[in-house]
Structure 1
Amino acid sequence: MTGYTRASALGPITEFVETRGGSIERIFRRVDLPLALLDNPDLPLPLREQFKVLREAGREIGDPFFGAALGRVVSMKKLSAFGAWVSGAPTLAGAIDRSGRGLNRFLQTATVLRFQVSEAKARWSIEFLDPGKDGRFQNELLGVSYLIDGVRHYAGSGWTPTLIRSTCVGAEQAAALENVFQAPVLHDAPVSAVEFDTALLSATGPERKQPDFGAEPPIPPPVGLREEVAMLSTIALLEGSPRIDWVARKLDMSRRSLQRALDREGCSFSTVLEGLLKDRAVALLLAQKRSLTDIALHLGYSDSAHFSRAFRRWTGMPPSRYRS
């Protein structure tokens, strides 16, 4: 199951890396993503690409537990409108309920939050269903950090978990993580989880907010390869015309395999790209902020004449007339 998050998830990574002397530009080059993603926080981003960014960020600053270190300075309530909504629940129990109901719709897909109670012990876990492996461990560390912060929002700043279950390997890694989390860590767990006393479920938070997702539309789940290609091409479009080889690489496919798979869905890469270019061109024209030449170059055309011919083919009129 391919998972998607929002490009806004990369913001805290950027700030953390730069405060420690690293270069986010180098990281983005190594994972082959456009830096312009940082200026487009609402764009859907494949979850495995976030895995890779976290992996490279750890290498950039020399921290094998980068996700946990980042997790100590990020906050659940700052996870866009979703985080503010979850943290605004009247009680911790309400926040856990909100997170389970809203995570896959508003923040991140292919991710499962589970909550279990056994006698006086509560366990809140997070599991990523995306098949991407490269960098997954760092993302798991970050995920459990958000759970810890979510409980701490209600339990108080000095609270520490009774136990953290981690997918780390062996006692040595667990001991290193205990120094970061300042809490007991159980290694080789099947999924990441945080355990705490059930009495905390009735703890009240400092804020109460109604959900407000007016400016934050749900993440559309891709129902087929065409939609996945469109999402990736939208990212590539930030730095010029998308290349089929780049999209195929991000999908772990060869160019030919991608072409055959799209053909089975009754479309082609050029068909998907034409639709995206048309939508982007219309949006840029209506914004009234760029010249036709600027728009043409932004969309990957060599000059305004080539762009005008394409736009006439899409709409039946030249772009200047459409704008007026």
Structure 2
Amino acid sequence: MDEPVILRQFLGMPRYMVNLIELAHVVDLLDRYASRGVVDRALNAAEIDRAMLGQAQCFVPYSAEAMVVETVARAIGDRHLGARLGRDFDYLAYGSYADFVLGAPDLATALDRGRRALMCTHPGSDIGLRQTGRHIVVGRNSSGLSAIGHRHLDEGAIFVIANVARHFLGADWRPDWVELPGTVKEPNAELGRMMRAPVRMGSAMPGVAIRLSELGTFNPRPPAPDRTLSLDALAKLMGVAPSQSMPDAVLHSLRINLVTGIASEAVVARQLALGPRTLQRALEKEGTSFRELRARFIRDEACRLLAEGDMRIDDIGKRLGYTEPRSFRRAFKTWTGLSPRQYRTTARDA
């Protein structure tokens, strides 16, 4: 599958999303810096429940991750919490994406793979490359995003990018300089000490300067031939659906939130980084509405739970928002022509 086809899969998605694989690892790291109560309050502020974090093949808005980190940073008084998270971040937590990037034959190919496959971890963002003299500056570009806490993610990004370079160049490698966006022009001494490199402020995106002569460095730990991945295989392993329209994104959000109940239209809109009216207009263009999608999701989820699990029928109704068992049974018979018990028996006998 070539790059344009992969990228077209996300044209209907809200911009700047992040895979829950990353957010789950970030929350694990936050638990080391702050109490569980502080982290839980930060998650609640972003309308995320810990129970959602086990769903690796899902996306949430990039702004939600930024808000979580910012809220914890303010609570513990750590101005550079994002940098510390990036420093401690285990790149292998990305799973198949890390295998794809770090399995490249050389550093230049690894950077190109990271650029082409970023839609598996950060739809809407891209890897920016800028050549300057004898260096190439590699950065993660989320231009136009102004979210609370975005600065923390920018600082973390330079450490994550540097970790990729160190896989090829050795644990002691350090960049000749790093760059961060913002209006402040003076270098940041604390970040410089953490990064072990000069910090240049006021750039267009967070970036790491790598010498051009280092790009051809071969992989010191190449994977076995049978462990190599194609971009197509990676997308499937990461749970990237073959198409992502706005209705798909809404159903996706409803599925993520199911652990805490059926989400309202306002909650889904916020999680997709949209206003309610913008979401309504987008769905109207697709010939549907939030109400129709919500009803379809509840119906399909009811059928799935009855066919695949042993949950009590009344508990299934409660999970799907029905406080009265008879209301759920009546609605289900309207959908399928069968009672929930009859449907379960028929599905298991099939």
Aligned residues: 322
Matched, 1:180 2:194: yes
Distance 1:261 1:223, change over 3 A: closer
Q: Distance in 2 between matches of 1:294 and 1:153?
A: 49
Matched, 1:5 2:18: yes
1:123-272 equivalences under 5 Å are 123-129=137-143, 131-171=145-185, 174-203=188-217, 204-208=219-223, 209-211=227-229, 213=234, 215-218=237-240, 222-224=244-246, 226-250=247-271, 255=276, 258-259=279-280, 262-263=283-284, 265-272=286-293
1:287-320 Cα offsets, whole Å, 9 max, x none, are: 2231212222222211433222222233332222
Matched, 1:311 2:332: yes
Runs of 5+ unmatched residues, structure 2: 1-13, 346-350
Identity of aligned residues (%): 24
The 10-residue stretch of structure 1 (207-216 or 134-143) with the greater mean CA deviation from structure 2: 207-216
- TM-score norm. by structure 2 comes to 0.83
Question: Does structure 1 conserve the Cα–Cα contact (< 8 Å) formed by 2:143 and 2:205?
Answer: no
Root-mean-square deviation over aligned CA pairs:
2.5
Aligned-pair CA distance for 1:261: 5.6
Matched, 1:35 2:39: no
Q: Distance in 1 between matches of 2:340 and 2:237?
A: 29
> Counterpart amino acid of 1:140?
D
Q: Secondary structure at the match of 2:209?
A: strand
Q: Distance in 1 between matches of 2:258 and 2:34?
A: 29
Distance 1:323 1:37, change over 3 A: same
Aligned-pair CA distance for 1:179: 2.1
1:157-202 Cα offsets, whole Å, 9 max, x none, are: 1111111011144255622211221211100111111112222222
1:26-105 equivalences under 5 Å are 26-104=41-119
Q: Distance in 2 between matches of 1:271 and 1:167?
A: 42
Match of 2:126 in 1: 112
Q: Distance in 1 between matches of 2:129 and 2:282?
A: 38
Distance 1:261 1:123, change over 3 A: closer
Matched, 1:19 2:40: no
- TM-score norm. by structure 1 comes to 0.89
1:63-101 Cα offsets, whole Å, 9 max, x none, are: 122211101111323212111221121211221121111
Q: Distance in 1 between matches of 2:241 and 2:75?
A: 30
Matched, 1:275 2:327: no
Q: Distance in 2 between matches of 1:60 and 1:173?
A: 26
Aligned-pair CA distance for 1:321: 2.4
Q: Distance in 2 between matches of 1:254 and 1:193?
A: 31
